[in-house]
Amino acid sequence: GGLVAGTVITLSGWTPQPKPILAPSGGVRRTPLPIPPLAEPEIAHDGTRIFSLTAQTGQSRIHPAGPTPSWGYNGAFAGPSLRAAEGDRVRIVVRNELPETTTVHWHGLKLPAQYDGGPHQPIAPGEEWIAEWEIEQPAATCWYHPHTHGTTEAQVTRGLMGLFILQDELSEWSGLPIDYGVDDVPVLVTDRSFNADGTFAARERTAFGLLGDTVIVNGALSPTFEVTRALTRLRLLNGSSARTYHFVVQGAPMTLVGTEAGLLPDPTPINSVTLTPGERAEVLVELEPGQTAMLQSVPHSLGLLQSTSRAAGAEDRFDVLELRAASSFAGPDLTIAGLGMIAQVLPPPLEAPDVTRSMVLTNNQINGATMEMSRVDQVVTVGARERWVIDNQHHLPHNLHIHNARFLVVSVDGEPPRDYERGWKDTVYAPPGRPVIIDVEFGRSADPEWPYMFHCHWLMHHDMGMMGQFVVIDDTQEPPTAISTPAVH
Ligand code: C2O
Ligand code: CU
Ligand code: CU
């Protein structure tokens, strides 16, 4: 489906339809937070959960000035939330109805490399691609997005992204909110600039990539969410190309319950959570009936020099999501104090890693090289206990994301990690000049033919080749010397 000038395809499947309302204070027009639909899988005879995603073009109602041409999965902008539990088998049928080649990568998932959805699994226009695997990891807020060689930023910033929610038994019985869209709320945060007619603009191209002057959450400007339960779980995703958010909640305490690749054994009261591109966090906010709180992003002191938020004033401080509690609550009476055990205790740092790898980040390079589709940069043995030392020797901020893995931060420049970095992660901020040490745990698949990626998740750096490839083999397999999978069309 191409774009038809003048017609508006509304955000099909999104509930509720964005409808601007007038907030009583300050006169800001607030839009009810659209909730991406929860994908309904088909269940095969053997129990496999079959999801269908169609990458398509469309037009969204985001900006009052007019319809915004955008891309989405099963709709005009972003995509449905996929949900599965540890031990489930999932099959995802992806159709490409875009005018160009795309891929779909399952960020944060451990899975066989042939289904990873990186640049080696291109889906040409009109084609279908199927990924199938068994979920072998505990509860987490993961996501999916294109991962083409060189066009990822363009595709993601048109709107291609969605959440992949993983559940497990421990967390479901713990008293954490799990009522999707009611007390378990996806919060996909991105930033854009708009032209006068409401189309996306690409004005602010910096050494970090595209920065917008306006924040949009789940495809809405200035959103508000009506809280109807005492405890609300926010699944925060930084889906921006280049902007870092330093999240705070004004008007209510915030409790961190999960980092991007898993839940925390001990929910932690926290003042702020910093997310660089690709990172996620799960936080709980407890409100009284009638109370209002504001999720904001505030200036930070971590050397993340990305302050161009003109719409929000000279300071990089802006409202992200208003939480407005109804005058009375119904439903389960969950509280932070009443939470049971939500996750397994985190293992201590490795005493004697089997392997230590060094990742030196420079100007769009990792260990002195840019991405080469046929080159094998690292060979990992399945089950090996690895330590990676990430050393950002560049003056710009970068981060490092590793596919098919989760890791724990051991230290940042010799110091223990900050509170919001103590937990399972798959992407970590690498501050200039301050080495970050992580202990990495890979998935259990081994296949010498297909590679996984590790890269900077600032999407422009990603597109410029700040990425390397690794294969995972078992001890019966020979380390490959080159990769020869289908080239990108
Ligand atoms: Cu979210 Cu390799 O990416
Ligand atoms: Cu990934
Ligand atoms: Cu980078």
Ligand with smallest separation from the Cα of 390: 3
Give the closest ligand to the alpha carbon of residue 237: 1
**Minimum CA distance residue for ligand 1 atom 1:** 107
Pick the atom of ligand 1 nearest to 403's CA. 2
In angstroms, what is the span from residue 312 Cα to ligand 1's centroid? 29
Ligand 1 in contact with 235 (CB < 6 A)? Answer: no
pLDDT on residue 157: 96
> How far does CA 117 lie from the centroid of its chain?
15
User: How many angstroms separate the alpha carbon of residue 403 from the centre of ligand 1?
Assistant: 7
Of residues 152, 98, 148, 99, the one with CA closest to residue 121 = 148
Give the model's pLDDT for residue 205: 77
Q: What is the DSSP pairing of strand 436-442 with strand 447-455?
A: unpaired
The C-alpha torsion from 6 through 11 and 13 to 16, rounded to 10°, is -120
Rounded to the nearest angstrom, the distance between the alpha carbon of 40 and the centre of ligand 1 is 24
Domains detected in the chain: 21-172 (2.60.40.420), 184-325 (2.60.40.420), 355-473 (2.60.40.420)
Instruction: Give the side-chain half-sphere CA count within 13 A for 13.
Output: 17
Ligand closest to 399 (CA) is 3
Q: Does residue 405 contact residue 453 with C-beta atoms inside 8 Å?
A: no
pTM of the model: 0.93
Atom of ligand 1 nearest to the CA of 278: 1
Which tokens in the block code for residue 128? 């279908």
pLDDT on residue 487: 53
Spatial distance between the Cα atoms of 321 and 252, rounded to a whole number of angstroms: 13
Q: Which atom of ligand 1 is nearest to the CA of 118?
A: 2
Question: What letter represents residue 351's amino acid?
Answer: E
Task: Choose among 225, 220, 260, 219: nearest CA to 78.
Answer: 219
Under 8 Å CB-to-CB from 434, ≥6 apart: which residues? 392, 412, 413
Q: Which pLDDT value is given to residue 27?
A: 59
Residues 434/418, Cβ–Cβ less than 8 Å: no
Q: Whose CA is nearest to atom 3 of ligand 1?
A: 107
Q: In which residue are the tokens 């994301």 written? A: 401
Tokens (6 digits) for 360: 């030196």
Residue length of the chain: 489
Q: In this structure, which residues have their CB less than 5 angstroms from ion ligand 2? A: 107, 403
Quickly count: other Cβ atoms within 10 Å of residue 173's Cβ.
12
pLDDT for the residue 304? 56
Is residue 147 within 6 Å of ligand 1 at its C-beta? Answer: yes
Task: Report whether residue 453 contacts ligand 1, using a CB cutoff of 6 Å.
Answer: yes
For 246-276, the pLDDT digits (tens) are 999 999 999 999 999 999 999 999 999 999 9
**Which numbered ligand comes closest to the C-alpha of 425?**
2
Q: Are strands 262-270 and 292-297 parallel, antiparallel or unpaired?
A: unpaired
How is residue 100 written in tokens?
A: 């160009």
Q: Which amino acid is at 456?
A: C
* CB neighbourhood size of 315 (10 A): 10
CA of 207 to the centre of ligand 3 (A): 9
Q: Ligand 1 atom closest to Cα of 107?
A: 1
Does the Cβ of 455 fall within 6 Å of ligand 1? yes
Measured from the Cα of 453, ligand 1's closest atom is 2
Ranges under pLDDT 50 in the chain: 1-25, 305, 307-314, 488-489
How far apart are the CA of 403 and the centre of ligand 2, in A? Answer: 5
Are the CB atoms for 236 and 273 separated by under 8 Å?
yes
Q: Which atom of ligand 1 is nearest to the CA of 145?
A: 1
**What is the pLDDT at residue 421?**
96
Q: Can you give the three-state secondary structure of the chain, one letter per residue?
A: CCCCCCCCCCCCCCECCCCCEECCCCCCEEEECCECCECCCEECCCCCEEEEEEEEEEEEEEECCEEEEEEEECCCCECCEEEEECCCEEEEEEEECCCCCECCEEECCCCCHHHCCCCCCCECCCCEEEEEEECCCCCEEEEEECCCCCCHHHHHHCCCCEEEEEECHHHHCCCCCCCECCCEEEEEEEEEEECCCCCEECCEEECCEEECCEEEECCEECEEEEECCCEEEEEEEECCCCCCEEEEEECCCEEEEEECCEEEEEEEEECCEEECCCCEEEEEEECCCCCEEEEEECCCCCCCCCCCCHHHCCCCCEEEEEEEECCCCCCCCCCCCCCCCCCCCCCCCCCCCCEEEEEEEECCEECCECCCCCECCEEEECCCCEEEEEEECCCCCEEEEECCEEEEEEEECCECCCHHHCCCECEEEECCCCCEEEEEEECCCCEEEEEEEEECCCHHHHHCCCEEEEEEECCCCCCCCECCCCCCC
For residue 466 and ligand 1, the question of a CB distance below 6 A is answered with: no
Ligand 3 center to residue 208 CA distance, Å? 7
CA–centroid distance, 461 to ligand 3, in Å, is: 5
How far, in Å, CA of 100 to CA of 278, rounded? 23
